[in-house]
Amino acid sequence: MKDTKDLYEQYGQAVSCLPPRFREKAHTLSDSVKESAEEFRLRIGRKPAVRVGIYETELDVCDCVSREDLNTVLEIATGSSVHTAQSSIKEGFVTVSGGHRIGLCGTVITAHDGVSGFRDLSSVSIRIAKQIKTAAAGMCEAIKKNGSPGNTLIVSPPGCGKTTVLRDLVRRLSDEGYRIAVADERGEIAAKQNGFPQFDVGRCTDVIDGTGKSHAAMMMLRSMTPDIIALDEITHERDVDAIYQICNCGTKIIATAHGEGLSSLSERPLYRALSDMQIFDFAITLYREKGIFRHKVCKL
């Protein structure tokens, strides 16, 4: 019952990021949609849509999305202080209270050091962050080696619950008494606000956000004596280097990666290098089967 209540609250938080003229319709959607909705999509010149599973359904509204609507979403997401969120915006997203991620598309503004922001927004997505306390049910024991958690890689395509499963694994292992350090680069795992995690990440969990995951992980390795370091989405060589150093210090790693499965990762140089290091003991593969989320744990 509490999980369902939390899902409604999380849905409501995401709806509050919509332009006011679309919120009422979003609130009138059925309870089943509110529980299952994964994101809102707003594309200029189209009606706003809600995604459930692999399907998008347009909201029954009269008006299409305007550029002003998209700018309103960004204003809401940044608390009317767009300039203070530029470091995140130039990466193509903003994370808001509750851990919900606002993805941005439009015309990129470039500077001498790369992307500096966006102008003329063309679409946004509002990813609905969820805490599902059954997401990692049965996984803690499955990834244990000689009674303790092993190095674990969670693999799935986008939208199949990597972050949700990672968060629940962290919570469960933390409540077992393992000291967990979370490198929460985008603020989606713990969703801290004023220092307080808005998601339950367990009683023995410490979190650093607001900086790159590899930097945060190394900071906590040196300062917090963690048993396990958790980080979301390995995307850069520096993440691989940090993982290698952490494991050589005897601390365990739980990390996530985008991919259709382990075989797809082996085709990419970054993950091939990681595989060659033989760091991970277990892999959890997440996937959808006829619209239902499934997982498979294998020993590496």
Q: Which fold has domain 139-299?
A: Rossmann fold (3.40.50)
pLDDT band for 160, please (50, 70, 90 cuts): confident
Q: What is the pLDDT of residue 1?
A: 44
Give the mean pLDDT of 246-268.
Answer: 90
pLDDT of 54 above 90: no
- pTM here is 0.85
Percent of residues, the chain, with pLDDT higher than 70 = 97
The CB density around residue 44, as the number of other CB atoms within 10 Å, is 18
Residues 16-44 have a mean pLDDT of 96
Q: Which two tokens stand for residue 264?
A: 């797809």
- What CATH class has 2-127? alpha beta
Break the chain into its structural domains and give their ranges: 2-127, 139-299
pLDDT tens digits for 275-292?
A: 888 999 999 999 888 777
Of 20-24, 121-125, 216-220, 268-272, the one with minimum mean pLDDT is 268-272
